[in-house]
Amino acid sequence: MTATRIDGKGFAAQMRGRIADQVAALKQEHGITPGLAVVLVGDDPASQIYVRSKHRQTVEAGMQSFEHRLPSDASQSELLALIGRLNADEQVHGILVQLPLPPHIDESEIINAIAVRKDVDGFTVANAGRLATGQRAMVPCTPLGCLMLLRDRLGDLSGKDAVVIGRSNIVGKPMAALLTAENATVTVAHSRTRDLPEVVRRADIVVAAVGLPGMVKGDWIKPGATVIDVGINRTGDGLVGDVDYDSAAQVADAITPVPGGVGPMTIACLLANTLTACCRMNGLGDPEGLTL
C-alpha cells in the first residue's frame, strides 16, 4: 500500500478562489478592499521569492498589496517607525514582516510592535496567548493550513494521538495548541526527546517541523498514520521535507508531499487571515469557511 498524497496545492487553490469571491462581495456590498502590507528588510534570496509570491497571490485575490523594502543596514528605529505608520493606515488590514531579520534587529520587539488586530502572521505575544488559552486569535498561517488539511482528511480529530516534532513559536507550539483544541492527545517532541522514533510510532497524526531534511524515517511511522511534513529544505536534490517521503509513504495512510503540500497552504491562510482581519476591523462577521 502506498499512502495517499495530500494535495495541499489543490486545496490552497480552491481556498484562494473562495477568498477572491468573498473579497469581491466585500467590495460590492461595503466598498471595502482588504489590504496586506509586506515588509522586507535586506536582500535574502529566499525571502525575496516568498515576498514576490505573496504579492502576486494577494493581487490575484482582489486585495491591495503594499510592499515596503528596506536595506539590510536599516536601523531598528526605522523599521519600528514604518510599522507605526502601517498600524495607523486604514487601508492596511494585515501587516507581515518577512523573517528572518538582519541580526542587529530584535525580531521579538518588531513583531510585538505590530497592532494585534493587524497581526495576520499570529506571532505577537497577544495573539499567541489568546490561541494558547482558547480565545479568538489570529492563528499562525502554517499551523492553520496544517489543521485544515488534517480536518479535510480525517474529519473529527477527537481522541487521536498526535505528535508534533519541533517546538518553534511559529509552527510547533501553535500547532500543538490547535490540535489540543481539537481534542487530540498531543505530544510535543524535539531534539532532546528520548527515543524519538518510539514516540513518533505511537502517533495517529505526525506533524514534522524541525528543518532537518529526511529526518523522520518510514520505520518511525505507525501504519495508517497521517503525516504532515512542514519542512522545506534546499538540498542538492532539490526541495525536500523533514520526512523521508519514499519510505514513509509505504507505511502511512496519507502524507503531504514537498513541494506541493503545506507550502501553498501557508500563503492561502495568510490571505484568509487578511480577509478575516479586514472583516473584524469593519464590524462584519468572519468570512465563511476560512476561520476556525
Q: Which of 281, 283, 288, 290 is nearest to 95 (CA)?
A: 281
User: Catalytic annotation on 27?
Assistant: no
Beta strand spans in 167-287 (E): 185-189, 205-208, 226-229, 233-235, 238-240, 254-255
CB 216 within 8 A of CB 256: no
Candidates 22, 57, 118, 121; catalytic one: 121
H helix or E strand, kind and range, residue 147: helix 141-154
User: Catalytic annotation on 54?
Assistant: yes
Candidates 22, 57, 98, 242; catalytic one: 98
User: Catalytic annotation on 9?
Assistant: no
Q: Which of 238, 251, 244, 222 is nearest to 162 (CA)?
A: 222
- Side by side, the strands of the sheet bearing 254-255 are 4-5, 254-255, 226-229, 205-208, 161-165, 185-189
Q: Which of 54, 265, 45, 249 is nearest to 141 (CA)?
A: 265
Catalytic center residues: 54, 98, 121
